[in-house]
Structure 1
Amino acid sequence: MRIFQWMYDKALVWAKHRHAERYLFGLSFTESVIFPIPPDVMLAPMALAHPERAWRLAWLTTIASVLGGIFGYVLGYLLYEPVVLPFIQYMGYQDTFALVERWFNEYGVWVVFIAGFSPIPYKLFTVGAGLMHMAFLPFVIASFIGRASRFFLVAGLMYWGGAKMQAKLREIVDILGWGTVALAGLAYLVYG
């Protein structure tokens, strides 16, 4: 199945839309709270389509993601029981969220940085940081550094790689996509 290549081709079309930056901002914000699709899916093709705006797009993605992270933090801090807990129970994420809480206890603010940079679902850690009443300023700093590192890396790869990177990425996007799905499944089996 070439589903990821199809999604990549669609993202390239959306990247050229006149409201693409607004969509990128919205995607980046909501991904930090609830949405499952990472903003890299839009950022990469947009940086390829408009290399002269790659750094601006990385900033936009970072700022929107950190603002979404702050919103997730507030949800966890103030509205965990009435809003977040019923959602976690409805989705069957109790075990996953318990693991997130354990990681917070073991690693503290470092887990926010790691979640911000890696493909680990950042949204679980934004809400978890609020629930655990993590100090707000370290949370924001770790989020900013982790998210900026990730999104500037993506934008930079697209900026410097250009058309060759676009062709190579399109060629291997299904391998990367299914590999990520397999790693997430493996991580769930090992740590879940």
Structure 2
Amino acid sequence: MNLKEIFINLVKNYGYFGIFIIGFTEPIFQPFPVEIFIGAALLLGLDWKLVLIISTVASLLGATITYILAKKFGEGLAIKLFGEEKVKKASNLLNKYGILGVLIASFTPIPFEVICWICGTFEMPFDRYLIAVLISRFIRHAMVIVPYLLYKKVF
């Protein structure tokens, strides 16, 4: 069983707790965006409001852990994990745009965990980091939910 199957089973068998685990681990190490599993959770009948809240809070908590780890272990580990090119791109974006850079990077192909590692490594002010993570995760997760609600004619 691969990681993707494990996560699908987490959502299927554990519902909201499964969404929490996937959302929490995404900014730390796992390669699959939680948005994939948000869609699955909605199709399984989970309440969209709770899914949005849980996934966003879980991502925020995971991003906090990643920031702390990155601050402690630094640039060398980030380069080892993600490669020098991705680290440089993310670092340049962060230095140039701050919170806006995190928001922009959150909607690019740069993996979210790379962004979190860069923010911690280069010690972006923690309060600004949390604001950027909260906004970006809420928007990304809502982007999955809104089409579902339109389909269900909730609006």
Residues 1:34 and 2:24 are matched in the alignment:
no
Alignment partner, residue 102 of structure 2: 112
Pick the structure with greater CA Rg: 1
- Which whole-Å deviations, capped at 9, do the CAs of 1:3-36 have from their partners, x for residues lacking one? xxxx79x94x764x23132222111111111111
C-alpha distance in 1 between matches for 2:135 and 2:58? 13
Q: What is the match of residue 128 of structure 2?
A: 138
What is the TM-score of this pair, normalised by structure 1? Answer: 0.68
Structure 2 regions of 5+ residues with no counterpart?
none
Match of 1:159 among 132, 136, 149: 149
Identity of aligned residues (%): 23
Structure 1 contact 113–146 (Cα < 8 Å) conserved = yes
SS in 1 for 2:28: coil
Runs of 4+ aligned structure 1 residues displaced above 6 Å come to none
SS in 2 for 1:33: coil
- How far 1:92 moved relative to its partner? 6.0
Cα deviations by residue, 1:135-178 (Å, 9 ceiling, x for unpaired): 11111011101110111221222133149xxxxxxxxxxxxxxx
Q: How far does the alpha carbon of each residue in 1:34-81 deviate from its partner, in whole angstroms, 9 at most, with x for none?
A: 111000111012112216x01110111000011111111111112226
- Partners of 1:150 and 1:69 lie apart in 2 by 15
The answer to whether the 8 A contact 1:48-1:159 is kept is no
Query: In the alignment, which of 52, 56, 60 is matched to residue 58 of structure 1?
Result: 52
Instruction: Say which of 69, 73, 87 aligns to 2:67.
Output: 73
Hey, what's the Cα distance between the residues in 1 that align with 2:124 and 2:23?
Answer: 22
* Alignment correspondent of 1:148: 138
Residue identity opposite 2:48 in structure 1: A
Can you give the 5+ residue segments of structure 1 that lack an aligned partner in the other structure?
A: 1-6, 164-192
More helix by share: 1
Q: Contact (CA 8 Å) 1:115, 1:146: kept in 2 or not?
A: no
* CA shift in 2, pair 1:116/1:55, >3 Å: farther
Q: Distance in 2 between matches of 1:160 and 1:102?
A: 38
Aligned residues: 149
Q: Distance in 2 between matches of 1:74 and 1:92?
A: 17
Give the TM-score taking structure 2 as reference length: 0.83
